[in-house]
Structure formats: structure tokens, C-alpha cells
Amino acid sequence: MLFGNQRARKGELSSPARFVSFALMKRTASTIVAILFSASASFAELPDSFADNIAAIQAIGSEGAGNKEATTAWQAIAKADGEAILPLLQAMEAASPVSKNMLRSAVEVISENELAAGKKLPVDSLGTFVLNTSGSPQARRFAFDLLSQVDSAGARKLVPGFINDPAVSLRREAVTGVMIAGKAQLEKDKDAAAKLYREALNAARDVDQIDEITKTLRELGQEVNLPKHFGFLMDWKLIGPFDNSERAGYDTVFPPENEIKLDATYDGKGTAKVKWVAFTSADEYGMIDFNKPFTSMKEVVGYAHTEFEAAEAGPAELRLGCKNAWKIWFNGELIFARDEYHRGARIDQYILPIRLSKGTNTILVKACQNETDESWTVQWEFQLRICDSTGTAILATNRKKAVVAPPAKKK
């Protein structure tokens, strides 16, 4: 019996099914539920104060609020034995990022104390927790690391099952494994190698892995559509330049912030009249370069507008890379703004949670260019994609199919 994300690599799981130290692979779903119930029961067997202490840690607020109470709670929790580990991992689900780190420290200390006392960690419960893909990705990875600490070989047997895991750091381990398998085939069977690398690419979400896999696939004569893999939005309407003298344009409300009229003409910087122009990126990493339609300019503001047709409503992430000052409106709402110029850019530099509406969603990007004249301050551009929390591209239903991916070049 296979569970959740393990189905994708069924063939490789026949061997882990004999992995008896966790006794997980042979268990039925009902057995896992039973284990989880058992874990909840163990939570109930802990002192009444345990839940209160977890709640105190979960209550750490902004600007350090609640840390004093959380510290007291932490000190009590850290004295617990191994029975507390699973409830603490589960408590990470409802914890803020800071609280999660405090809980992590508690598990670290309890684990260290248990091992120092010659006791064993609750490997079955930990294994079940790792395999429950609805859990916190960070907590699951942490649980996997604990398992690896006490049974490295056993934990490694779980790795192939992570190939489509929502926890990107676990998925990365599985992708690495497939890449290694593909590399081993390169000199023996190029078709087999290509198949493995394609499988790795389909699963890969980390940019360094995607780049390495793409390079090898192309050396094998395979086509790779990187813009589609990442989900970069390639087709936009651009307008500019507006004035950004003395960087005042960042806070100046130019007409596109009040209305989107794609046939309108406005007063731009100086005496220029500006209007929307269509722009399709030919860059593999989806760069939307204002310098291309408007020529290289300084002290200017440009806007980019697009519509994203979503097949269904739901949570998503808008991921941006930009080295100019910028603002972003999603469905008319300003969701973030940043006035930093030319300190660097990369894919997924900024991750902004959004909620897609079924049908048409609008995106407006304001990109500001400053006055500096160094060669590394020429760029007036951004790259943007929409994906889920794992970095898996969510493709618009109105995405053009004929985007041609040019050969790899510098990002």
C-alpha cells in the first residue's frame, strides 16, 4: 500500500516496502490514522500544562510580544521526554514562523536529552509524521532529519517517495536521486538518461536543480520550455516613461494607478506622450525589459499590465524578481511596494501571497528606474510568475502556447 505522494514512484517503493525499521511502507492508511490518533492520545497523556505551554509559544506576537511567557513555557516543555516530540511537531502547524523556531528548539533539546540518556526517539511516529503530506513542510523536513540522525539508511529509503512532495526540501532530495540515476545512464543509454532527467525536471522546483537538469537535457537534444516550467508571465502591455526625477516618481500616482485604459494616451516624462504597447518576453527567465520598447532610460517610471485567466479560485503566490523600485497591484489592490534600487535580483526574490479569482485576474507592476549611471544600474525590468506554495507553476488558461524558448543564456 502506498500513500499520498509516494504513488508517483511506485516502482521504487517496492524495495522501501521492506523497510522494517519504520514499518511504514507496509502499513495501511487506517494504520497511519491510528498512529496519528495514538499521537493525539499521547498528547492527552502529557501534563495539562503542556497544551497551555504550547499555546504560550504559539502566541509569540509582533515586535517580541509574548516572548517572556513563551520562554517560561519553553523551559517547562524542554523537560518533557520523547512523548512530547510528536505533539510539538504537530503544534508547528498553527505556529507563526518565530513560534515554529521556538518549538523546533524544544524538540532539539528533548531529542538530545533522550539520546544522551540512551533512549530511542519515537521513530514510527516520526516516520508517519514525515509521510503525512498535509503537515507543515518545515516540520516534516525537521522530522525527517531527526529520523536520519538515528537511522540514516532507513531514512534514505524514504527519499524516492518525496519526488512530488509539497515539502520542497524533501522533494529536492528525491530529485537529486533521480539526477544521479540519470547521470549514471549518460554513457550507457541516452534515452534512459533523458527520461530520468525529464522526470527530474518535472519534479524540480529549486532553480539550481532546474538549471542543471535543463543543461543536461539540452545536451541530450531535448527541448525544455523553461518559461512554462516556471510559469513566467510573458505577455504584457507596457507604458512609459513617466518621470522619476529625484526618485519622486515612486510615490507619484500616475494615470495607470487610477485606471487601466489600454487605448489611452497620457503625458509622460518631459514632453513625451505615452501609450500602452504590447510586449512579449523572449527571455527564458521571463524578464520583462522596459529598455527594449522604450530604449535605455534613467529617472523614469514604467508600468506593466496583464490579465491572468485562472481555471479556478484559490490561494497562490505571486513571485517577483526585480532590482528596481517597484509596486504591485493584484486585482486592483496594492499588495507590496519596495523602494530599493539595483541591489540585485533573482527568481522568486519576493514571494507575495494572493488569492486567485476564477476567471480574469489583473496584475499591474510599477517599475522605477533611478539616476545612477554605473553599468550595473542599466536594468529596468522584472520577472514574475504565479505558482503554488511549492513553486509549481499555475498556468493561465489564456497563456499563449507559441512562446519559443531560446537557448540558455545568462539569467
Binding site for another protein (CB under 8 A): 60, 62-65, 67-68, 70-71, 74-75, 78, 96-98, 100-102, 104-105, 108-109, 112, 138, 169, 172, 206, 208, 323, 336, 338-341, 343-346, 349-350
In 3D space, the residue among 14, 121, 102 whose CA is nearest the CA of residue 54 turns out to be: 102
Minimum distance from residue 365 beta carbon to another protein (Å): 17
12 or 173: CB nearest another protein: 173
The number of helix segments (H) and strand segments (E) in the chain equals 14, 12
Do 163 and 178 contact (CB within 8 A), yes or no?
A: yes
CB nearer another protein, residue 98 or residue 408: 98
Query: Within a 13 Å sphere around the CA of 61, how many CA atoms are in the beta-carbon half?
Result: 3
Q: How far is the CB of 337 from another protein (least distance, A)?
A: 8
Output 39 or 320, the one with its CB closest to another protein: 320
Q: How many CB atoms lie within 10 A of CB 47?
A: 12
| CB-count burial class (<10 Å; 0-12, 13-18, 19+) for 29 | exposed
Residue closer to another protein by CB (options 8, 204) is 204
In order of 129, 267, 294, 400, the CA distances from 125 in angstroms are 6, 65, 60, 47
Question: Cβ of residue 326: shortest distance to another protein, in angstroms?
Answer: 11
What SS3 class is residue 70?
helix
Q: Considering beta carbons, is residue 172 or 237 the nearer one to another protein?
A: 172
For the bound state, the minimum distance from the C-beta of residue 309 to another protein, rounded and expressed in Å, comes to 30
Any residues with CB less than 8 A from the CB of 287 and at least 6 apart, and which?
281, 381, 382, 383
Q: Least Å distance between CB 35 and another protein?
A: 26
Nearest distance from C-beta of residue 98 to another protein, angstroms: 5
Pick between residue 35 and residue 354 the one whose CB is nearest to another protein: 354
